[in-house]
Structure 1
Amino acid sequence: MDIGKQIKTLRLGKALTQTGMAEILGVSKSTMSNYERNISTPDPDTLRKIASYFDVTVDYLFNDMTDSPRDIIKEGTAYHPDKALNKDEWNAISYYRRLSDEQKDFIKGQMIQLYQKSSSSNKG
């Protein structure tokens, strides 16, 4: 369990400095540095702030998934943890989750159209 590595990876994924992340969390830069170096662990409220900001669960922060992402893909009611997402897929999902319902509907429509177009061109 390397929560510091998880926090740092998420922070760098958003191109945030330690100072910027510290401001978001309402802690000092040195406290932020201590979190990332596993010198100290964020308190429960700070953990919730981190998870909320990065749109992940608190549980995700405590799991070392940075070396090989093992995101769970839900298909119907079955979970498939063996189907890892690559970085582009993870980013696409992360951005999608931040959209409004209207924007999500638009994106889903575009994806369906692209899929149908590629399916019909592959048949011909």
Structure 2
Amino acid sequence: MNPHLLRHHARVRHEDKTMCWRYYDEKELIELENPLELYIVDISAGGVGVKSFNTISKGNILIFELPFGLSTYKVMGKVMWVDKREDCYRGGLEFVSLPFSLKESLIELSKLGEEAPLVENY
């Protein structure tokens, strides 16, 4: 079984777009001249599923703003897995740092029941 298919938190569909201007490659902070576009596909208390037309690398820690509800939160997510698709990269980010209020909201959301059906074409 694929290790990235093991889930600790229920996922829900959450489609949005954000930009990543900075990331950590090992321990070095990289500032990007052109942002990395990330398309949020799903979200859980543990992290987010993303799609990107730019290369994303396993192990990097991305710093980006996450729109959720009526707020936008600054978060950090470690790239845990990446699949190269025909036209994009699909990856899973584990939250490394996120505001407590967002974490609580995501935990409450996961308690609402079964995970929402996901679109696998992303």
Q: TM-score, with normalisation over the residues of structure 1?
A: 0.25
Greater Rg, structure 1 or structure 2? 1
Normalized per residue, which structure has more helix? Answer: 1
Normalized per residue, which structure has more strand? Answer: 2
